[in-house]
Every structure is written in C-alpha cells, then in structure tokens.
Amino acid sequence: MNGARRTDGDRRHRAAVLGSPIGHSLSPVLHRAAYEELELRDWSYDRFETDEAALPEFLAGLGPEWAGLSLTMPLKRAVIPLLDEVSDTAASVEAVNTVVFTQDGRRVGDNTDIPGIVAALRERGIEQVDSAAVLGAGATASSALAALARVCTGEVVAYVRSAARAAEMRQWGERLGLRVRTADWADADRALRAPLVIATTPAGTTDSLARSVPERPGTLFDVLYDPWPTDLAARWSAHGGAVVSGLDLLVHQAVLQVEQMTGRAPAPLHAMRTAGEKALAAR
C-alpha cells in the first residue's frame, strides 16, 4: 500500500461506492458525514449501479479528480485483474473492497473489511479468544476467517450447508494459518456455545437459532444491520450476551477507507456511526 494514501495537497476530491444492487448502501451517508466533520467541503461521495461487465469501462472513464472507490458485491473479486497493486490483506482472501488512486495514477486495492472486523471486536473489548464459530461460508465468511486469524488462538468451527462449501472453508483456513473444522448446518445450534460467534448469513437464515441461545452467551458478531436487530441478536442481548452489529463493521471499515482516500486520520468514527444510525432509523 506504499503511496496509496492521499495528502491534503491533492486536487482529487471525488469518491463513490460501486455495486449491484447499490441503492441500499449506507456508504454515502458514512463518508459524507466524515467529510463534513473533517471540513472537507470540496469532497463528494456518490453511488453507482455497476455490475461486473460494466466495471472495466467505468474505471477507464474516471478522471484525475477521483481519489477512491468503495466496492461491494459482486465486484470485490472482479476488480482484482483491473488493479496495479493489491495489498496483502486483500490478496489473503482474494477480495478488494477499497480502491485508492495514487498520485502517479496507479490503482491500488485493499480490503478494509478484515481490519474492520478486528477493530469492531476490539471496541467491545475482544482482543483475543481461544475458539470461535462462524455461521455461513460465503464471501463475508472468508473475511471473518481472516479476522479470526488475528484474534483466535485455537480452533474455529464453520457451520455450512454443503460439502463444497465445507471444503472451501477448510482451504481458507489452511491459507490463513487458522485451524478450521467444518460442521453441518443442521448442528448450527452448537455454534452458539462458542465464546465468539460470527454470523455471516443472509437475513432470516439464523432466525430459527434464536431459541437455542444459551443462558450465558459469549459475544455475537452479526454482520447484518438492516433489519436490526435480527431475531438471534435480540435473543442474545436478552440473555446478557455482547452483540456486535453489521453497522459496527460497516462504520469501522469505512473509517479506514476515509483515511486512505483523504489522507486524513483519524476519521471521525462517532460522527459516522451516528449518521448511520439516523439513516437506518429513517428507513
């Protein structure tokens, strides 16, 4: 990432989030809140509906005023061949969610989801755990494993629905230097006994598990944020367990994006979170 961070003297003041669908994205709310707090009045942040087929042309059409891009699905992997450099963090999971345009015109890709997960856990006092469980095996699950490689000293059990997904999760574990064991989704209620549970599944998938929350749960990191709380998160909180939300992840990864794109640090975490909470409440 050398040379990727921008400086105040740069005249590039545009950024945006790309993906499909993109209308639901909170990224503009978070980044604009940061610009306001940092008094970056000549910065703008937009959203563009962009799929994999349209991405190369979109990138080719960007002018020198562009500082960076946030990427969501389905572009996190598709963008990699279009970049000049990819950080070790992004390469570890083959997923880029941040592109910074350097002063010499290079496109540099990074992944702020992974350190964002770590930062969100650290904010809740979770520095290290001796074991963990992951619910799901999609793209977010691989980032969760990469984050757990930094905070989990023991085994991670991933609960998945197919043998193919199980094999993928074990392969990610080997690649990340993490001990990953897989189990069938039918036994996912057992995951809830782990000191740290990361739920990476789509809305509604974990609702049936809510009735299985133990009396003294550990920490739940549910990557969803709309609608919120999920049934699982609500029951977890009711039993006194700590809950980290998808909004926490979204804000922490956006903080890192703002810092990379603008060159201003620290980004205003509190202002960004407040803006996100207000936007969700208004939906």
CB 205 within 8 A of CB 191: no
Which member of 12, 76, 165, 273 is catalytic? 76
CA dist 256 to 98, 113, 115, 262, 265, Å?
9, 9, 9, 10, 9
Determine if residue 16 is left, alpha or beta; phi over 0 gives left, psi from -120 to 50 gives alpha, anything else beta. beta
Give the residues across from 184 on adjacent strands: 160
CA 280 to chain centroid: 17
Following DSSP, what letter does each residue of 65-125 receive, concatenated?
TEEEEEE-TTSTTTTGGG-SEE-HHHHHHT---EEEE-TTS-EEEE--HHHHHHHHHHHTT
* Owner of token pair 């996912």: 188
Query: ∠ CA 133-138-140 to the nearest 5 degrees?
Result: 70
Rg (CA), the chain: 19
Known catalytic residue at 278: no
The residues assigned a catalytic role are 76
